[in-house]
Amino acid sequence: MKRSFTALLVLLSMVMIVPFGLQAAAAHEHELPEEYDWISIPAQFMMSEAQPANNSIQVFDVAKGKVVHSIANSPQFQQTAEQWLSQITSLAPEIQPDMKATYIVRVPVAPVKTLTVGQVALKVKEIFLFYYSDTSKEPLLLMFDENKKPYFFHIHEDITPFIQSLNIPN
């Protein structure tokens, strides 16, 4: 688990570097390489200055490029994660997320949950929630299979109360 989390954090650090480097070439769009390595997303969470326990919920501020807040996981947060998982009916059509997200929130799932969507079966250990302050964009969930292959899913609910419950500092 620690290796997969490290790999995901390395990916996230790349997610932050690549789009901003390309921004000069594409002023109005974030463009990522065609074959982007999404496995490094957890790496950025591991690189936070005050590295919390693996069970903590972590908030990555996309604009700041770092983890800005950690909060202890709780039964309430686990119930919310289970609710998200129960709403998933299909894969999202996105090959990669829109990196104009405000926050990416890492929610560890304990115990591990099984998610089956069509032919895809995942053992969910953690969920990465892409939160957009632009309410026209649906929240996006990122999860990985045991081989670190990324899967994206939409959830069709207002996650603002969840984000507010995290008490993210400005």
Residues 6+ apart with CB under 8 A from 47: 9, 13, 66, 67
pLDDT, residue 124, reads 94
> Is the previous residue joined to 97 through a cis bond, with omega within 30 degrees of 0?
no
Residue 29 has pLDDT above 70, yes or no: no
Query: For 32-52, what is each residue's pLDDT tens digit?
Result: 344 445 455 555 554 444 444
User: How many structural domains are present in the chain?
Assistant: 1
Residue 170 in any domain: the answer is: no
49 part of a folded domain:
yes
Q: pLDDT by residue (tens digit) across 120-149? A: 899 999 999 999 988 888 889 999 988 888
Q: What is the pLDDT of residue 169?
A: 85
Q: Is residue 48 part of a domain?
A: yes
Which residue range is the domain that position 9 belongs to? 2-165
